[in-house]
Structure 1
């Protein structure tokens, strides 16, 4: 992880986390065990996304995860694969046509 991408130690950058719907849910819902595949993996992701769906800080959470390039877990309602694809699409849109 590149620490230079993290927003810093200022409280205003992190206080959104106190309002997250996930605070009452165990982290194991948002971060699957290494090697988990198939229906168990998909069900865990869907359950985590359900918590994110009505979360009051979903946008802040996703913005953080994209800026920090969070490599694991569900953040802001998106899995690591979904965030990777979103960032890749943003990069492609910014590249000038050859």
Structure 2
């Protein structure tokens, strides 16, 4: 479980969402795959982590944090590492297209 009591007070508003996360009561190992995990074991663990995310009241804030900080590991906001990387690629393409149109 994440202990947010040690987070800096001035930035508490940026981290407060974590205190409401459904994953606080779950084993963090569910969200981060062990070295060498492959195929069905990987897929089953990801699915279980995403099931926790699906019922989480702060899923959007969690995903936003993971995308903004380019979180490289684990399931965050219901998306795996690969899914977040794809979302960022789509976002970059959209920004590039908008900048070309504005120019």
Q: TM-score, normalising length from structure 2?
A: 0.83
Flag the structure with higher helix content. 2
Give the unaligned 5+ runs of structure 1.
1-7
2:35 aligns with 34
Equivalent-residue separation in structure 2 for 1:87 and 1:79 (angstroms): 12
- Consecutive unaligned residues of structure 2, counting only runs of 5 or more, are 1-6
| TM-score, length of structure 1 as denominator length | 0.88
CA distance in 1, matches of 2:13, 2:94: 30
Q: Which has the higher contact order (CA 8 A, sep 6+)?
A: 1
Q: Find the structure with the greater CA-based Rg.
A: 2
Over the aligned positions, Cα root-mean-square deviation in angstroms equals 1.3
